[in-house]
Chains A and B, each alone.
Chain A
């Protein structure tokens, strides 16, 4: 059972949107046309707000990690868990089409991890995350990372209840990705340029150009260059996390920053 709303939750916890429909709009249905004017993903948004209430109750700061497959999300998480050891407790929800491989890598470092295998679904949604939350004790967790399915298209459309979106762009992918995938990069609260130890080998990736493409999406998010392998740039990333978490804690998680 869900502690916050009292609903019986196992999987696919979805609040029926009809319950919130004003009676007036139903009366209108006897006519020819009913005005609705509501977000298509209203159910998901509602579930995301519910997740956010769970996070607020536990005082857990939640980061949604998104990127194409192989940009280094799990490697960044491994380095992050090591760096935060003794400072902040970390847990991870892993989204992949198949396998527990990523969750195993996280657990090997002593952090709790819940794997969501989506089958053929190309993104996580708020109800999948909610189901995973019931397999996780949030109370002792300071920072929860949700590692979304590797995909630069679909995950951007689904609010999970997170407080920040972090998008990774590895230097092997090309610095024009923000121009090609505007919906994803517009959603970023931080852009992490990863695998920077490979910059010289790649040759034609310019972090400044990636930043310009991000700004052309009217996005003022900070851009950090990070190598999980060498540790370069990791301090800046950890500082950002700690600072953002403190900022939300000050506001007692009342207004999640994702909009």
Chain B
């Protein structure tokens, strides 16, 4: 269940981009995850609220874009789709391929909710 550690790393990174004035305003967190990253998107979704509770990104939505496994053949040069446990060139069947996609585990972006009016007025007072 290392998704919990990955989630803790995710929350730390999101908190780095949340300005203090926008605490609690994290709306959506967009991730890109490939099957060869070794994390289970569903487990990540389950773990997130536990780790995010009490932080500035509590209540945020996790949006995971699954990334396809792609290989580039070193023998025939063809780019093709592959299965996570069968990284074989679809063109010539060679196993001498480079992985060009499918191992991503990226924080793509963070979306904030519109700031509440009350907060804006308080800031105007200062």
Q: Is A39 an interface residue (CB 8 A)?
A: yes
Give chain B residues whose Cβ lies under 8 Å from the Cβ of A158.
2, 5
- Contacting pair A121 B85 (CB below 8 A): no
Give the distance in Å from the alpha carbon of A217 to the alpha carbon of B95 in the complex.
7
Give chain A residues whose Cβ lies under 8 Å from the Cβ of B38.
153-154, 156-157, 183-184
Give chain B residues whose Cβ lies under 8 Å from the Cβ of A35.
108-109
Interface size on A, residues (CB 8 A): 43
Interface string of A106-135 (1 = CB under 8 A from B): 000000000000000111010000000000
Q: Is B18 an interface residue (CB 8 A)?
A: yes
- Contacting pair B19 A26 (CB below 8 A): yes
- Contacting pair B95 A218 (CB below 8 A): yes
Give chain A residues whose Cβ lies under 8 Å from the Cβ of B110.
33-34, 36
- Contacting pair B96 A26 (CB below 8 A): no
- Contacting pair A32 B111 (CB below 8 A): yes
Residues B11-39 near A (CB distance < 8 A) = 12-13, 15-19, 22, 31, 36-39
Give chain B residues whose Cβ lies under 8 Å from the Cβ of A217.
85, 87, 95
Q: Which of A17, A29, A32, A179 contacts B12 (CB 8 A)?
A: A17
Chain A residues within 8 Å of B, Cβ to Cβ: 16-18, 21, 25-26, 29-44, 121-123, 125, 153-154, 156-158, 178-180, 182-184, 186, 215-218, 220
From A43, A157, A179, name the one whose CB has the most chain B CB atoms within 10 angstroms.
A157
- Contacting pair A153 B2 (CB below 8 A): yes
- 19 CB contacts below 8 A, A to B, read A16-B16, A18-B15, A21-B17, A29-B18, A29-B19, A32-B112, A32-B114, A33-B109, A33-B111, A34-B112, A38-B13, A39-B105, A40-B105, A43-B9, A154-B2, A183-B37, A186-B36, A216-B88, A216-B95
Give chain B residues whose Cβ lies under 8 Å from the Cβ of A21.
16-17
Residues B95-114 near A (CB distance < 8 A) = 95-99, 105-112, 114
Give the distance in Å from the alpha carbon of A131 to the alpha carbon of B99 in the complex.
33
Give chain A residues whose Cβ lies under 8 Å from the Cβ of B16.
16-18, 21
Q: Which of A37, A154, A216 contacts B85 (CB 8 A)?
A: A216
Give the distance in Å from the alpha carbon of A34 to the alpha carbon of B31 in the complex.
13
Measured between C-beta atoms, what is the minimum distance from B96 to chain A in Å? 7
Measured between C-beta atoms, what is the minimum distance from A38 to chain B in Å? 6
Give chain A residues whose Cβ lies under 8 Å from the Cβ of B112.
29, 31-34
From A26, A40, A122, A154, name the one whose CB has the most chain B CB atoms within 10 angstroms.
A40
Give the distance in Å from the alpha carbon of A42 to the alpha carbon of B17 in the complex.
14
Give the distance in Å from the alpha carbon of A18 to the alpha carbon of B5 in the complex.
18
Return the 5 tightest CB-CB contacts between A and B, nearest first: A18-B16, A154-B2, A183-B38, A218-B87, A182-B85
